[in-house]
Chain A
């Protein structure tokens, strides 16, 4: 598992940052984000919390060995869930990769909240990410591959044995008959 984290304070009030959040892309520094779609959105009529599920499409050149090994492509998709809670002035954003998720997951969490010392003018941003290769799945895939190979080997070995048995029988039955036939023609 690998971790990443950073924290930063924006010189804007919380509600400006949260309004700005929906205008973050496209931006010239993040050209790798090429599409954003909303898949689901609810406004909770009791709490006022807005939950949004989005799908981001990214184009990021992966190193050649990664593309070769994992069969990935330039297009990668990420699922993002955000909660905007006006009553606690908290935004929580969680993102998980969809592409290559069978091999590894990147779980990212972002929070925006008013800076405790200057809540009307500053907003704290924290970001953490956990990258984890799916070892369990690797192991079970490797195990499955071994099993399949052994089964194939067993099947082929059985076929090889019965095939050769057949060949031997035919060969020597034929040879046993040839002298008889030759003997028969002499006698006629």
Chain B
């Protein structure tokens, strides 16, 4: 598994990544199957979003706090803010080319 930008965050990152990966691997195939019916898809998405929060929410908060500190320390926070302003990318863009 890859490292965090700050060594002190790497242990939390590893716990979080493992948590996400195991949730995601359980999520993906049924999500594809559930997407044929809109109401089934929404029911599944809602349930799994809650499950993700319940499983990984706690370590995520700790990891996020650590990374945010590291980002500031490396002086990347302003570059990030600028990049977010320029390209918010809050929704997928339809394939252009």
Contact = CB atoms under 8 A, between A and B. Distances in A.
Contacts of A5: 97
Interface in B16-42: 16-17, 20-21, 24-25, 27-29, 31-32, 34-35, 41-42
Given A26-B1, A55-B5, A101-B82, 11 more contacts: A19-B28, A26-B2, A38-B63, A44-B49, A45-B49, A48-B42, A77-B79, A83-B92, A88-B35, A92-B92, A98-B79
A90 interface: yes
A151 interface: no
Interface in A19-34: 19, 22-23, 25-26, 33-34
A15 B29 contact: yes
A96 B83 contact: yes
Nearest to A14: B32
B87 A96 contact: yes
A170 to B, nearest CB: 51
Interface size class of B (residues with CB under 8 A): 35 or more
Most buried by B among A35, A46, A47, A88: A35
A77 B24 contact: no
Interface of A: 5, 15, 18-19, 22-23, 25-26, 33-39, 41, 43-51, 55, 57, 77, 79, 81, 83-90, 92, 94, 96, 98-99, 101, 111, 128
Contact of B28 (A15, A47, A79, A88): A15
A87 B87 CA distance: 25
Contact of B3 (A34, A39, A48): A34
B93 A101 contact: no
Interface string B79-97: 1101110110111110101
Interface in B42-97: 42, 44-46, 48-50, 52, 60, 63-64, 67, 70-71, 76, 79-80, 82-84, 86-87, 89-93, 95, 97
B59 to A, nearest CB: 11
Contacts of A81: 87, 89
A45 B57 CA distance: 15
B57 to A, nearest CB: 11
A19 B45 contact: no
Contacts of B20: 22, 38, 41
A39 B70 CA distance: 11
B4 A35 contact: yes
Given A22-B24, A92-B92, A92-B93, A48 B48 contact: yes
Contact of B80 (A36, A39, A51): A39
